[in-house]
Amino acid sequence: LILGLSLGLTVGRRNIRSTFFSRCEKFKEHDCKKLWDLFEKAYVNKDPCKVPVEAYNPLIAAAPFKPQCNKMMFWSKTKDVVHGLTAKRKDCFVTLEDTLLGSVLDDLTWCGKEGSKDTFTAGCPEWSECVNNPVRSFWNRSSAAFADVACGDVTAMLSGSIDTPFNSTSNFASIEVPRFKASRVKKLNVVMVIQKNAISNCNHPSLKNLRQSLDTGITYSCKDVSESRIQECGAKPEIACGACW
Ligand code: ZNA
């Protein structure tokens, strides 16, 4: 029992450095030691509520997001469905969490402390406790950089299971959509994920705000797609990307 408990702990939040390296090494083209050093510099020895988005500029500059036209996938409140799909259909879609930095840091918590050289994974600020916390600033900075390189037809999976599928306070609305530029992005295809007991769909009034926030020249479309259809696309590699829904 004790072994099981300590193993659970070790796997769950085993020092973040080893998780960082083992995830990073799956991407061959990068110097993981250099990336770890730049990552640490962003928050180590700082008050964990005083890490601005800019702190991650050097890290992102060292592992820039590359444009993957017609495959880039954004999401809000649909994380599990989206990653269930992209894990199996990398030929069709790429999310931020499928990129080097996004995959290395997904689902991790980290922070530093003033006067310490260490990285902590417990006792860090909650997401909303302070805006400039190390985790939130990383995701804000990296989602901005990922959206900056969006091109061609872009897909966004929004949830039909919540009151307001396009919420102005989400990262998708506040950080990503404003960075889609008509010079690069041709079209935004919204996929409304319809689960059983869905309460909204493509007719939801909040989607009018989405249309209105798009840069002039970007075409908008929205399609209601059942969760099972999305899973089917993941399960059947023979389905062409364009025929998933
Ligand atoms: N992989 C991530 O943890 C992550 C990714 C975190 C934040 C943003 N992103 C980008 S932005 C992602 O690639 C999507 O394209 C965009 C989604 O951001 P969103 O529109 O704000 O969607 P969401 O479902 O509300 O939040 C996304 C993730 O952010 C969640 O799964 C959480 O990991 C985290 N998060 C957001 N709000 C909170 C939160 N965690 C704790 N408390 C919160 N209030």
- In angstroms, how far is the first alpha carbon of the chain from the final one? 47
d(CA 61, CA 43): 16
Q: What's this model's pTM, rounded to 2 decimal places?
A: 0.93
3-state helix, strand, coil in the chain (%, to 5): 40, 15, 45
What's the confidence (pLDDT) of residue 2?
A: 52
What's the confidence (pLDDT) of residue 11?
A: 44
What is the CB < 6 Å shell around ligand 1?
Answer: 74-77, 79, 95-97, 106, 127-128, 139, 143, 170-172, 176
What's the confidence (pLDDT) of residue 9?
A: 43
What's the confidence (pLDDT) of residue 13?
A: 52
Residue 223's beta-bridge partner residues? 191
Rounded distance from Cα 1 to ligand 1 centre (Å): 34
What's the confidence (pLDDT) of residue 5?
A: 44
Of 72, 77, 79, the residue with max ligand 1 atoms within 8 A of its CB, to mutate for a pocket test, comes to: 79
What's the confidence (pLDDT) of residue 161?
A: 98
Q: Which residue, 49, 64, 27, is CA-closest to 129? A: 49
What's the confidence (pLDDT) of residue 206?
A: 98
Per DSSP, the residues of 185-202 read: EEEEEEEEEE-TT----T
Rounded distance from Cα 193 to ligand 1 centre (Å): 17
- Atom number of ligand 1 nearest to Cα 73: 15
What's the confidence (pLDDT) of residue 6?
A: 45
> How confident is the prediction along the chain (245 residues), in pLDDT tens digits per residue?
454 444 434 444 569 999 999 999 999 888 999 999 999 999 999 999 999 999 999 999 999 999 999 999 999 999 999 999 999 999 999 999 999 999 999 999 999 999 999 999 999 999 999 999 999 999 999 999 999 999 999 999 999 999 999 999 999 999 999 999 999 999 999 999 999 999 999 999 999 999 999 999 999 999 999 999 999 999 999 999 999 99
Residues in CB range of 83: below 8 A, 6 or more apart: 95, 97
Give the chain's radius of gyration (CA, Å): 19
What's the confidence (pLDDT) of residue 78?
A: 98
Residues in CB range of 25: below 8 A, 6 or more apart: 32
Phi and psi at 125, nearest 5°, equal -60, 145
